[in-house]
Chains A and B, each alone.
Chain A
Amino acid sequence: MGVFRFSTDAIGTCVVRLQNIVAGSRYRIEVATTGATIADGVAASTTEDVTIDRYASGDAKNDLKIKIRRSSSAPKYQPFETQAQAAAGTVLVWVSQVLDTIVS
């Protein structure tokens, strides 16, 4: 028996791989256009895989904004933001956090 899907439903999942992220950093993946939360958490190591839904090509929900912050304990970093697009398989996101030498 088939499954009926709306055109706005997810068509599968993909893995967003946050590479080079500083362990202990908090990340948040959200829809770039709306800011709706897709996933968030704290990176356990320098590579963090996050599985998220994937939508039909052209769906704005595939446009991702990724926020990474770490400023509660040393070493502290400047806020980092980037964008990516959900796609089949694994989406590699290279994280390039800059040490915050001013914060205390």
Chain B
Amino acid sequence: MAYVNFTTLTDWQYDASTKKLKHNTGSTRITVNALYSEIMDEFDNAGQMDDSIPMSAQTPTEYTLVNGWTFDSDSDPGYLYGGSIVVQKATTDRDVWANFYTLGTIESDGVVYWLQNGSLVAAHPGYTSGHIDQLIKVRSGGSLIDSGNVTAYLRNRASGNADLYDNFTGTATATGGRNPIPLASAPDTNDDGSDVSAYTCTLGFAGYTEDVDGDGTAESYAVKVDGQGSYTALQCYRWLKWQCRRENSSDVGNGTQGRFYRYANASYAEVKQSPFGSFAGGKFFGARGVLLTNITDSNNRQLIDSSGASKIPPTTVSITVSGVAVGDRVLVARDDGAGAIDKAQFTLAGAHSAATTVTVNEALGNDIPDSGALRMGDSQFTYTGIVRGSKQFTGVSPALTGSGGAELYQPYIDAVASGTSMSKSFVYAADFDIIARIRKKGIQPFENTATVTSAGAAVSAIRTTDTIVS
């Protein structure tokens, strides 16, 4: 006997001699219940009374191919939905086709795709976008595949219509079952879907350390996103979403295809909307273990190190003096509280002789720059490093000599202008007042005060020609 069409569902055929069911033609998908009903209708005909019944129903959504009946091929269940099917080939030899279906509010153009056991599972025939209802084989020849887990992803990053991503893992029951997969997607107001493929950001997976919060102790991270000093946090966020988009089947660096990447470590909390970190209020919020570094707006990030501790970078501010001209001497230093430069900001801890490491008695706050200028009396120095725990300036040049208790201070700017403005960046700790002086023969001396806040400080010099000096 060969394959014959079912009486009503003529897209489907059966062969009673080989005990096989087969989707023969057409693109119409039917419920498993419809197939079951057709089989039962067909097999109470006189001609089929001598054939065994192919299928039994356990619940309205759980069915079994019995009496040795099987599908002709694994493509046949692609034309079924709405229920699971166990193919009981022998006592322990059975295939289980579980039914997974998505529900929730999703963007209509979102395309759901499946991951099982590290590989993409093809969507059923005819699927284009939106919710999906599909049978997926979770047990083959009696062996469970990936513990019955199937993960649905929804990651649409279309130009002009990028969404917040989502994914969910469902686990089939022993009998397959009809398993809901809740998904949600919505337009991402921080991602316009623009082409970021030319960005030169880099992504690394190894052990990384960086003192993000500026507490003097480097934290550990599992993933490093390097903005190459050229990109903002927002640009990096978009680039990272681009890495995780549905179309990216390339390895992101840890052996996982970008479209399947979920976390740096399976024990870490997932950020489903954007796996490397989310973006809100102008700030990047990294997923656990993700280090975003070397970006042009480093204040716009809040990270979680590999231990799970939140790390907020210190606020970096700048003092900017504008309106200067090449050759102007500029000095910006702390106010002593009485309208004068605080020349006694620090005192030498013991005598120093030709020292390149200078130890002071006072604490070196976080708002003392990591490198910069020093003054002791009228003598100018520079330093290249700072050890706050030891209250030391290192790399001091020229070498400093002074008696114990000698006063010195740290000007934020103490140099000759080489352009129309001068600036110094450092970590903001608290508000403080500064005095700025600009002097050059030929202009009247300019002095002004300002308060450094969490937004920094700006001083605009007024260069008034000195018509008297000769």
- A-to-B contact residues, CB < 8 Å: 25-26, 28, 30, 35, 37, 40, 67, 69-72, 76, 78-79, 100, 102-104
Residue of B nearest to A28 (CB): B49
What is the number of residues of chain B that contact chain A, defined by CB distance less than 8 Å? Answer: 17
Residue of B nearest to A104 (CB): B37
Question: Contact at B36–A102, with CB atoms within 8 Å?
Answer: yes
Report how far A52 CA is from B37 CA in the complex, Å: 32
Question: Contact at A103–B50, with CB atoms within 8 Å?
Answer: no
Question: Contact at A102–B33, with CB atoms within 8 Å?
Answer: yes
B40 at the interface (CB under 8 A from A): yes
List, in ascending order, chain B residues with CB within 8 A of A78's CB: 56
Residue of B nearest to A36 (CB): B50
Given A79-B40, A103-B57, 10 extra CB contacts under 8 A: A25-B44, A30-B50, A35-B50, A40-B49, A72-B44, A78-B56, A102-B57, A102-B59, A104-B34, A104-B37
B41 at the interface (CB under 8 A from A): yes
Question: Contact at A26–B40, with CB atoms within 8 Å?
Answer: no
Residue of B nearest to A81 (CB): B53
Report how far A94 CA is from B23 CA in the complex, Å: 38
Give chain B interface residues in 54-108, CB to chain A under 8 Å: 56-57, 59-60
List, in ascending order, chain A residues with CB within 8 A of B40's CB: 69, 71, 76, 79, 100, 103
Residue from the set B33, B37, B43, B49 with the largest chain A CB neighbour count within 10 Å: B49
Report how far A90 CA is from B34 CA in the complex, Å: 40
Contact of A71 among B33, B41, B46, B60 (CB under 8 A): B41
Question: Contact at B43–A37, with CB atoms within 8 Å?
Answer: no
Residue of A nearest to B48 (CB): A69
Residue of B nearest to A25 (CB): B44
List, in ascending order, chain A residues with CB within 8 A of B41's CB: 71-72
Residue of A nearest to B40 (CB): A71
Contact of B46 among A40, A100, A104 (CB under 8 A): A40
Question: Contact at B44–A102, with CB atoms within 8 Å?
Answer: no
Residue of B nearest to A42 (CB): B46
Give chain B interface residues in 1-46, CB to chain A under 8 Å: 33-34, 36-37, 40-41, 43-46
Report how far A44 CA is from B36 CA in the complex, Å: 26
Contact of B50 among A28, A76, A102 (CB under 8 A): A28
Question: Contact at A69–B36, with CB atoms within 8 Å?
Answer: no
List, in ascending order, chain B residues with CB within 8 A of A103's CB: 33, 36-37, 40, 57
Instruction: Across the A-B interface, give the 10 residue pairs with the lowest CB-CB distance, nearest first.
Output: A69-B44, A71-B40, A28-B49, A102-B57, A103-B37, A71-B44, A104-B37, A79-B53, A102-B60, A72-B41
Closest CB in chain B relative to A74 CB, distance in Å:
11
Closest CB in chain A relative to B392 CB, distance in Å:
82
Give chain B interface residues in 169-219, CB to chain A under 8 Å: none
Closest CB in chain B relative to A15 CB, distance in Å:
20
As a 0/1 sequence over residues 389 to 416 of chain B, the CB contacts with chain A under 8 angstroms (1 = contact) are: 0000000000000000000000000000
Closest CB in chain B relative to A94 CB, distance in Å:
20
Residue of A nearest to B36 (CB): A103
Report how far A26 CA is from B42 CA in the complex, Å: 12
Residue from the set B33, B44, B50, B56 with the largest chain A CB neighbour count within 10 Å: B44
List, in ascending order, chain B residues with CB within 8 A of A71's CB: 37, 40-41, 43-44
Question: Contact at B50–A100, with CB atoms within 8 Å?
Answer: no
Closest CB in chain A relative to B9 CB, distance in Å:
12
List, in ascending order, chain A residues with CB within 8 A of B53's CB: 69, 79
What are 20 A-B residue pairs whose CB atoms fall within 8 Å in the complex? A26-B44, A26-B46, A28-B49, A37-B50, A40-B49, A67-B49, A69-B40, A69-B43, A69-B44, A69-B53, A70-B44, A71-B37, A71-B40, A71-B44, A72-B44, A79-B44, A100-B40, A102-B33, A104-B33, A104-B34
Report how far A67 CA is from B45 CA in the complex, Å: 12
List, in ascending order, chain A residues with CB within 8 A of B46's CB: 26, 40
Residue of A nearest to B60 (CB): A102
List, in ascending order, chain A residues with CB within 8 A of B56's CB: 78
List, in ascending order, chain B residues with CB within 8 A of A67's CB: 49
Report how far A71 CA is from B40 CA in the complex, Å: 6
List, in ascending order, chain A residues with CB within 8 A of B57's CB: 100, 102-103
Report how far A61 CA is from B57 CA in the complex, Å: 32
Question: Contact at A69–B49, with CB atoms within 8 Å?
Answer: yes
Report how far A79 CA is from B46 CA in the complex, Å: 14
Residue from the set A25, A30, A37, A69 with the largest chain B CB neighbour count within 10 Å: A69
Report how far A20 CA is from B57 CA in the complex, Å: 24
Closest CB in chain A relative to B337 CB, distance in Å:
87
Residue of B nearest to A101 (CB): B60
Report how far A102 CA is from B83 CA in the complex, Å: 12
List, in ascending order, chain A residues with CB within 8 A of B34's CB: 104
List, in ascending order, chain A residues with CB within 8 A of B60's CB: 102
List, in ascending order, chain B residues with CB within 8 A of A102's CB: 33, 36, 57, 59-60
Report how far A37 CA is from B34 CA in the complex, Å: 30
Report how far A67 CA is from B40 CA in the complex, Å: 13
Report how far A26 CA is from B48 CA in the complex, Å: 11
Report how far A11 CA is from B43 CA in the complex, Å: 33
List, in ascending order, chain A residues with CB within 8 A of B36's CB: 102-103
Closest CB in chain B relative to A71 CB, distance in Å:
4
